[in-house]
Copies of this chain bind each other. A is one copy, B any other.
Amino acid sequence: MKLINGGVCAAKGFVANGIHCGIRKNKTKRDLAMIMSECPASAAAVYTTNLVKGAPLLVTKAHLANGVAQAVICNSGNANTCNANGIEVAEQMSALVAKELGISANDVVVASTGVIGQPLNLEPIANGIPVLAKGLSANGGEAAAEGIMTTDTVKKEVAVSFEIGGKTCTLGGIAKGSGMIHPNMATMLVFITTDVAISPAMLQKALSTDITNTFNMVSVDGDTSTNDMVTVLANGMAGNDEITEENEDFAIFMKALNTVTVALCRMIAGDGEGATKLLECKVTGAKDVPTAKTVAKSVICSSLLKAAMFGADANWGRVLCAIGYSGADVDVNAVDVSFRSAKGEIIVCKNGAGVEFSEEIAKEILLEKEIEILISLGKGEGSATAWGCDLTYDYVKINGDYRT
């Protein structure tokens, strides 16, 4: 499993591009992205659990019913959600892409991210699609990664290469936003491409399994967006024997997928709106995995703990408090807590009660950019990791006046 460059264009047969077409006011910001596979690809996706769903998700879901897709179109700056004509606009986006690329509209994944409840003007998109298509290239992954950003401060892309049955395979992805179960309203979108040959059913199985330990364990602010979506396109151009069952090849594919998704989770959480720190909560010793997940997510979602981490304050009582109200079956008298970063590790709580520790050393550890909150529940073998970020002035600033 080797990290390589190229993001969503790293795998064989994928090209991409991103441009400014005019949806976002700031002309220096790209707002339209396209990804294309040379040939039809196995396709899988997972969608937001929010009852309010963006129109593009409904259209994409219909298009992917047959497990095949060949292109992705995504705009930022407007979510095309809660609009009376949303479905129509998303279908028109697909049709325009299909016409331009000479493929079926049913093979287009369509996505939108931005403000909810404002009509999406098709005109700049219609004008932009031919420009986008013309500029598609194997070097366009970065432009595509930029085209899907909204309040993101950095583009998010990663790729790995690995071997299946003697064939060199590649899997890469781009992401925007901040979560899946608890994503930033600005939406989480992830597009993953691979040249592995894998059936649509097995691709969906791999994705649906992986997200329970990755994107569903990310939280920035507890708000589940209406437009979250993760899609994978697998075009088979690596030439491996098609994966059609849970064999050794599938296990390798799962590992490659997980390497990419965990990297994207860390990028998403670390770039949460206003964030100055990535928080990684690692729970061990739970009676089972669901218990560990519940505890990890509760801790990572605590506004009070997030604010304390912003202040580099080792206020471990807030960790205990979040464990206590998580709803998980936990013996609070068996809980140990420590904080860890590149500067070292410090134990702050043993068996549910405070231990003496140096506030100076704790501060030094917590001033780092990546903080691990380590929780041992002392009751079993269940473990889980959740990713989040600190709560800062800038979060309030960004969201206090997002639309203007």
Contact = CB atoms under 8 A, between A and B. Distances in A.
B318 A116 contact: yes
A398 B307 CA distance: 8
A301 B224 CA distance: 12
A364 to B, nearest CB: 15
Nearest to A317: B116
Interface residues of A, number: 60
A401 B307 CA distance: 8
A183 to B, nearest CB: 10
Nearest to A222: B303
A301 to B, nearest CB: 7
Nearest to A81: B317
A218 to B, nearest CB: 15
Contacts of A323: 51-52
A129 interface: no
Given A52-B332, A301-B222, A396 B402 contact: no
A316 interface: yes
Contacts of A375: none
A343 to B, nearest CB: 19
Contacts of A325: 49-52, 223-224
Interface stretch (A68-76, A94-102, A202-210, A348-356): A348-356
B354 A324 contact: no
B324 A52 contact: yes
A274 B34 CA distance: 43
Contacts of A267: none
A64 to B, nearest CB: 22
A316 B117 contact: yes
B304 A83 contact: no
A117 B354 CA distance: 5
A308 interface: yes
A404 interface: yes
18 contacts: A51-B332, A82-B352, A83-B353, A84-B353, A116-B317, A117-B354, A222-B302, A223-B321, A223-B325, A224-B321, A308-B400, A310-B396, A311-B399, A311-B401, A313-B401, A313-B404, A393-B396, A393-B397
Given A313-B404, A391-B399, 6 more contacts: A117-B317, A223-B304, A223-B325, A304-B399, A311-B400, A391-B396
